[in-house]
Amino acid sequence: MGKRNSQRNRSAASMWDSDDDSSVSSSSTARTDAASMLGTEEVVFDQDTLLDQALDALDEKRGSTREKALSLIIEAFNSNLQHQFVEKKFATLLHQCLASIKKGSKKATAKEIALASHAIGLLALSVGCSDNAREIFEESVRPLDEYLTSTSDVTKIPSLLECLALITFVGGNDQEETERTMDLLWRVIHPKLGSNVVTIKPSAPLITSVVASWSFLLTTARELNLNSKNWQNSISYLSSLLDKEDRPVRIAAGQALALIFEIGIVDKFSAECKSASDMTQEESKQQASYVHLQGLKGKVINQVKNLSVEAGGKGSAKKDLSSQRSLFRDIVEFFEYGYPPEISMKIGGDSLQTSSWSQMIQLNYLKHFLGGGFIKHMQDNEFLHDVFDFTPKRKHLNNNEQRMSSGEKRMFKSPNSFQNKARTQFLNKQRLLSEGRNLGHYAASVTDD
């Protein structure tokens, strides 16, 4: 059994290594294994077979092989939900991806870690709220936390943050777990110093990534732990980001602040305050905190008003400036009149609508993460249907045929698809094998004469 698995892994690796100059005999092994896997001498590289081969290739020592395999897995999960593959290979895929992330298990590049993190996030979204989602969360949180705490390579961090946010969003069971992850995200840019903590100076893209992921999880908040000091610090920090030169940082901070006030953080502190004559010393401190929070809110309102009419400076991109002005005009309108932004987006023949900062942040975050797979997931992913209370119209095709998405066409139909490349490599090796047999036959004939 072990020998057969080993042969299969070597066969899978040969499909992914375009520079593999293996011998004719290894070509024979690849041909035999591929034929036996598919049950036919005429090898047809379908999607399930490619995913199985990609999963096998994650065991390979060569980093470029693992990266190619992860890329295919991500593209496959973007183009379809892969229910059958997930049902059979869920645990294997999860632990192979975690092996690329865990410190010291493999010499993984930043690219491999980003791909593995993205694959885990896609896996969580694909399984939805289930025992599998819970397993992803429980198995992944600790290694992600340990890696974030120990790494000094900032290029690896954003993908880890997205992965952590998504597995918590899908698989976290309660508010305490969500707040724990939010605190972990916050520590990336505000580390709690210790003997095993690597401190780094956060770049603008890193700050944007942390704030966006933190806000995404804040959208799920129901009963928050009302620590006024922590919220003062959070609002003060986000307010300071509005003065930064980097526009994506400003936009992420503005959305986070709008969300904080939408879910009523300041109002909840106000409701807990009593009249001055009834206050204990502790309650008096809470009252002072509430007054301070109100002052911070006033400061934020002035900042967003200025950003909503900011003039373009030298070298500023008009598109970025327009996006900033539009966003902060929406925030000003929300602060002054209580109207959140309304978004309507076409999903196939259906319309997806949002009417709160919380929904808008969720929509933008998931759209960014899924990229080209967003429409497909919004059409077919029941978990996302529940998140956005969205029910697409079902399209019935003649003879129960399933129309291929543009992503699937790229994967399986185009000349540059993984399928055609793999098939070409296999046929080339098969041709070499045939030539080798012919040469051997000719040599044998000469000897007989």
How far is Cα 371 from Cα 78, in angstroms, rounded to an integer? Answer: 8
Of 323, 311, 303, nearest to 247 (Cα)?
323
The Cα–Cα gap between 355 and 335 comes to 15
User: Using CA atoms, how far apart are residues 59 and 141, in angstroms rounded to an integer?
Assistant: 22
d(CA 445, CA 440): 9
Type and span of the H or E element at 335: helix 318-337
Q: Check residue 425 and give its pLDDT.
A: 62
Residue 138 CA: distances (Å) to CA of 2, 56, 159, 224: 30, 24, 18, 22
Burial class of residue 214 in the structure, from the number of CB atoms within 10 Å of its CB (0-12 exposed, 13-18 middle, 19+ buried): buried
Global confidence as pTM: 0.76
What pLDDT sits at residue 379? Answer: 93
Q: List the chain pLDDT tens, one digit each, 449 residues.
A: 444 444 444 544 555 554 443 333 333 333 334 334 334 333 334 677 889 999 999 999 889 999 999 999 999 999 888 888 998 999 999 999 999 988 545 578 889 999 999 999 999 999 998 899 999 999 999 999 988 888 777 888 999 999 999 999 999 988 889 999 999 999 888 776 554 555 678 899 999 999 999 999 999 987 666 566 678 888 999 999 999 999 999 999 999 999 999 988 766 655 555 445 556 666 666 666 667 778 888 999 999 999 999 876 544 567 778 888 999 999 999 999 999 999 999 998 899 999 999 999 999 999 999 999 999 999 999 999 999 999 988 643 333 444 555 555 455 545 555 555 555 565 565 566 655 555 554 444 444 44
Q: Judging by beta carbons within 10 Å of its beta carbon (0-12, 13-18, 19+), is residue 442 exposed, middle or buried?
A: exposed
